[in-house]
Chain A
């Protein structure tokens, strides 16, 4: 089934809330082999000026992918997940994510098109805090391999 390119430009209602815990941050830091104590030790993080332990630079993918599932798992969108390859990912931090944050994410479909027999889908998730202020922008491009 081809991509439903009518989804380009779509914006979804806010997803979440996603409470960020110390345990989640520590588990993510351990899994990527992080050496930074600020991910695990609140006193270290506080000495650096943060309210609590700080998430690794790519931690927000955990939240963004929950937002992206609204598109990826929508049968009408035509994304065959078994043929998906991750093309690109980017994070812009407006402020660091810390334990205790309660974030929501708004999913935008920035690009959805067919090219050279493959599908290309670029999404953007705008994560914001309980105060409504921006926290992290997560962009992701997936390639849906065509039949060949």
Chain B
């Protein structure tokens, strides 16, 4: 069996989101909270505009980790994050989120690495203490 490889170049990616993508994520995840689709509703609960699902951002960010481990999702053993900011998605716009990952520590005995992941939108970090443990 071939040794497991990693691709550090995969640990930086700009992902994009628009209203259509949020509808697709709502359907795929089952989270139909109208703050992620309906600007009028979002404003009625004090938000500036429609915001992306925090879980959309986490999912998009974790795909960078999947790419790092050679596209093998089973090598992502665990992941966790706090939600510290909002990704605002105005109608008709495509919003960019910069995802960056870095190896925080390696546990050779366990055959794992722990990655720190950041996701930045409009200059604000929208995920906090986002980490993933991968098999290497």
Contacts and interface: CB of A to CB of B under 8 A. Distances in A.
Interface of A: 24, 27-28, 30-39, 44, 48-50, 54-59, 61-62, 65-66, 81-83, 85-93, 95-96, 139
B129 to A, nearest CB: 9
Given A57-B73, A59-B59, 14 more contacts: A31-B27, A33-B21, A34-B66, A35-B63, A36-B66, A36-B67, A48-B72, A50-B74, A55-B73, A56-B63, A56-B73, A57-B65, A61-B31, A89-B54
Interface string B104-136: 000000000000000000000000000010000
Contacts of A31: 21, 24-25, 27-29, 56, 59
B80 interface: yes
B95 interface: no
A33 to B, nearest CB: 5
Nearest 5 CB-CB pairings of A with B = A90-B80, A32-B59, A96-B74, A31-B25, A31-B24
B79 A91 contact: yes
Nearest to B62: A57
Contact of A35 (B71, B74, B76): B71
Contacts, number: 121
Given A27-B28, A56-B66, A93 B77 contact: yes
A143 to B, nearest CB: 9
A54 B69 CA distance: 14
Interface of B: 15-16, 21, 24-25, 27-31, 33, 45, 54-56, 58-60, 62-63, 65-67, 71-74, 76-83, 132
A36 B79 contact: no
B79 A62 contact: no
A86 B54 contact: yes
Contacts of B81: 88-90
A92 B54 contact: no
26 contacts: A24-B28, A27-B24, A32-B25, A34-B63, A35-B71, A36-B71, A36-B73, A48-B74, A54-B72, A56-B59, A56-B62, A57-B62, A57-B79, A58-B62, A61-B55, A65-B30, A81-B33, A86-B55, A86-B83, A89-B55, A90-B80, A91-B79, A95-B74, A96-B73, A96-B74, A139-B80
